[in-house]
Chains A and B, each alone.
Chain A
Amino acid sequence: MIAHHLVLVISLSCVRIFQSTSELYAILWQLFWAIRPIINLKSPVPVGIVDYGAGNIASLEMALIAAGGAPKLAREPSDLSSLAAVILPGVGHFGPASAALRDSGLAQELCRCAIAGLPLLGICLGFQLLATTSEEAPGASGLGLLPLSSQRLRPRNTILHKVPHLGWNTLHAVNVCPRLLHGIAFEKRRFYFANSYAIAPDPQMLATQATYCHEHTWLALLERGTICGVQFHPEKSRSQGLQLLRNFLALALECG
């Protein structure tokens, strides 16, 4: 009699658990469908990496795959079609890089795509190439997508401030929090820099900006519409760098 009672109680409680878990599953399923278009779990985002012979792309490729992207190298203008976003990386010298972009026809096609609304992210030298000119190569011109120019870092206190600016520096958002920094905790907003040239922030410019300090204040991150640039290396900046790339891919999906 007692055993019978016990079985009844257990089966009843099982039904209750089953009911509540099935409800939970239903809620989770609905949630999954609700956020699916935002995070796009299934298909990796096709993102182009402009390859103009300026060195280490491997780490960017690996980071993008980890962030949910499907990187494709773009060496010719035709490679820029059917992409959700494009990244202009860069290590090296402004002059040869700018010449290589123009000679391959990539510069013109990049400008056309960026103006048409294809999300574009410039990294380090790639960021400086989005601007108009650089002190590094006075005769050469950048893509001109941002009315800015880069200049040599010339700190007065050379004991404290070294050139190249090498290592982990903290970011300060100028006005609103940039979309690229979403989900990155305040104390995690430190990124890996390696640069001798930098762009001064422009308070008049209608753009979301974040800065870093190297004796003076310099531009670390800029977002103007779908054109973004970062002076640091997100692909080398551990988990916060991956989150930044994820945010960029999310921006690409929103636009697409």
Chain B
Amino acid sequence: MLQPRLIPVLLVDAQQQLVKTICFGRRQYIGDPLNAAYVFSGFEADELLVLDIDASTQGRCIPLTFVAALARFTHVPLTVGGGVISLEQIHGLLALGVEKVALSSVLSRDFSFLQQAATRFGSSTISVILNVHVPEKGTPLAWCGRPDISMLGRPLLELALACQEAGAGELLIHAVDRDGQRQGYDVPILAELNRQLAIPLVALGGCGNHGHIADLLKASPLSGVAAGSLFIYAPDTQQVLLHYPLSHHWLQEQLPQLQECWI
């Protein structure tokens, strides 16, 4: 039985510090990303997602030396992203031992790049991050890269289906408005999207406790559940405490119940 993946998300800034953001804005310094990756690898996390959140605005790729160190410190599947714009960069990252490369802002300029990357490296190595904003009225809007007022977002479903068509191996749905809020996932939108798509879907943004994960997975069997705050802070505080095994055990216990919901 394939189990939903619990994925800790590590956000890295230009100084290669581990940070946590709130609604893509205010940042809190957490610590050293390599150390955190090493800790989560020691916890035998299902997968790690590491994103350089300053790379694309500075017009550079996530540093290869940093990723090389990351790959050396971890023994779990690794997804990295941040400012990747060329096939050579993807090749370089995969050669270092990265499992998947996440594409985002490059696709807002050149969507055909997704198909090129998926054809050359195989779908299962290419993830796409869609940043989603839900207006008070109307359909949810999605962007590849940072949501920008000057660039209109596309309807989420339309963009997600386009990504699937172009060969994306996985979609990471990042709820911008919920980032760092710890108020729960946007369950109806994610469940509907999972119903429409044939490729794996990972939810990111808004998770604060195990109840939020249960709410989401009861509604739909998502392939992955990613969270920053949940694994980085001590429960219900802003104090840094990296943890994972409790959540993993919790999900193992919930699985029989969840499987009944999915049939």
Which A43-62 residues have a C-beta within 8 angstroms of B? Answer: 55-59, 62
**Most chain-B Cβ atoms within 10 A of its Cβ — which of A168, A213, A239?**
A168
**Min distance, Cβ A248 to any Cβ of chain B, angstroms:** 17
Closest 6 CB pairs of A and B: A58-B97, A59-B97, A194-B124, A164-B124, A162-B200, A158-B198
Task: Tell me which of B1-9, B55-63, B134-142 binds A.
Answer: B1-9
Q: Does B94 contact A55, Cβ atoms closer than 8 Å?
A: yes
The answer to whether the Cβ of B87 comes within 8 Å of any Cβ in the partner chain is no
The answer to whether the Cβ of B95 comes within 8 Å of any Cβ in the partner chain is yes
The answer to whether the Cβ of B179 comes within 8 Å of any Cβ in the partner chain is no
The answer to whether the Cβ of A141 comes within 8 Å of any Cβ in the partner chain is no
Q: Does B198 contact A163, Cβ atoms closer than 8 Å?
A: yes
**Min distance, Cβ A38 to any Cβ of chain B, angstroms:** 25
The answer to whether the Cβ of B75 comes within 8 Å of any Cβ in the partner chain is yes
Contact with B along A196-234 (1 / 0, CB 8 A): 100000000000000011100000000000000000010
- Complex Cα–Cα for A164 and B194 (A): 14
Note all chain A residues with C-beta closer than 8 A to B221.
Answer: 159-160
- For A154, the closest partner residue in chain B by CB is B198
Known: A91-B121, A164-B169. A192 touches B77 (CB 8 A): yes
Note all chain A residues with C-beta closer than 8 A to B76.
Answer: 236, 238
- Complex Cα–Cα for A214 and B169 (A): 17
Contact with A along B174-204 (1 / 0, CB 8 A): 0000000000000000000011011111000
Chain B positions near chain A (C-beta within 8 angstroms): 1-5, 44, 46-47, 71-72, 75-77, 91, 94-100, 121-125, 169-170, 194-195, 197-201, 220-221, 223-224, 262
- For A125, the closest partner residue in chain B by CB is B122
The answer to whether the Cβ of A195 comes within 8 Å of any Cβ in the partner chain is yes
Q: For A91, give its contact among B96, B125, B195, B198 (CB under 8 Å).
A: B125
Known: A164-B169, A236-B99. A93 touches B220 (CB 8 A): no
Chain A positions near chain B (C-beta within 8 angstroms): 55-59, 62-63, 66, 91-93, 158-170, 190, 192-196, 212-214, 233, 236, 238-239, 242
- Complex Cα–Cα for A184 and B157 (A): 42
**Min distance, Cβ B139 to any Cβ of chain A, angstroms:** 21
**Most chain-A Cβ atoms within 10 A of its Cβ — which of B1, B195, B201, B224?**
B1
Note all chain B residues with C-beta closer than 8 A to A66.
Answer: 75
Q: Does A57 contact B95, Cβ atoms closer than 8 Å?
A: yes
Note all chain A residues with C-beta closer than 8 A to B223.
Answer: 162, 166-167
Note all chain A residues with C-beta closer than 8 A to B3.
Answer: 167-169, 190
Known: A164-B169, A194-B99. A159 touches B195 (CB 8 A): yes
Q: Does B199 contact A239, Cβ atoms closer than 8 Å?
A: no
Q: For A167, give its contact among B46, B72, B199 (CB under 8 Å).
A: B46
**Min distance, Cβ B24 to any Cβ of chain A, angstroms:** 26
**Min distance, Cβ A99 to any Cβ of chain B, angstroms:** 15
Q: Does B200 contact A166, Cβ atoms closer than 8 Å?
A: yes
Q: Does B98 contact A56, Cβ atoms closer than 8 Å?
A: yes
- For B100, the closest partner residue in chain A by CB is A194
- For A60, the closest partner residue in chain B by CB is B97
- Complex Cα–Cα for A137 and B9 (A): 36
**Min distance, Cβ B34 to any Cβ of chain A, angstroms:** 15
**Min distance, Cβ A67 to any Cβ of chain B, angstroms:** 11
Known: A159-B221, A162-B223, A192-B77. A170 touches B1 (CB 8 A): yes
**Most chain-B Cβ atoms within 10 A of its Cβ — which of A92, A159, A192?**
A159
Q: Does B199 contact A58, Cβ atoms closer than 8 Å?
A: no
**Min distance, Cβ B91 to any Cβ of chain A, angstroms:** 8
- Complex Cα–Cα for A93 and B121 (A): 8
**Min distance, Cβ A62 to any Cβ of chain B, angstroms:** 7
Q: Does B200 contact A164, Cβ atoms closer than 8 Å?
A: yes
Q: Does B5 contact A58, Cβ atoms closer than 8 Å?
A: no
Q: Does A167 contact B98, Cβ atoms closer than 8 Å?
A: no
Note all chain A residues with C-beta closer than 8 A to B98.
Answer: 56
Note all chain A residues with C-beta closer than 8 A to B121.
Answer: 55, 91-92
Q: List 11 A-B contacts (CB under 8 A).
A: A58-B96, A59-B71, A158-B198, A159-B194, A160-B262, A161-B2, A164-B169, A164-B170, A166-B124, A166-B170, A236-B76
- Complex Cα–Cα for A137 and B32 (A): 45
Q: A62-B97, A163-B199, A213-B2 are in contact. List 14 more A-B contacts (CB 8 A).
A: A56-B94, A56-B95, A91-B94, A92-B122, A159-B221, A159-B262, A164-B169, A164-B200, A166-B223, A167-B5, A169-B1, A195-B124, A214-B2, A238-B75
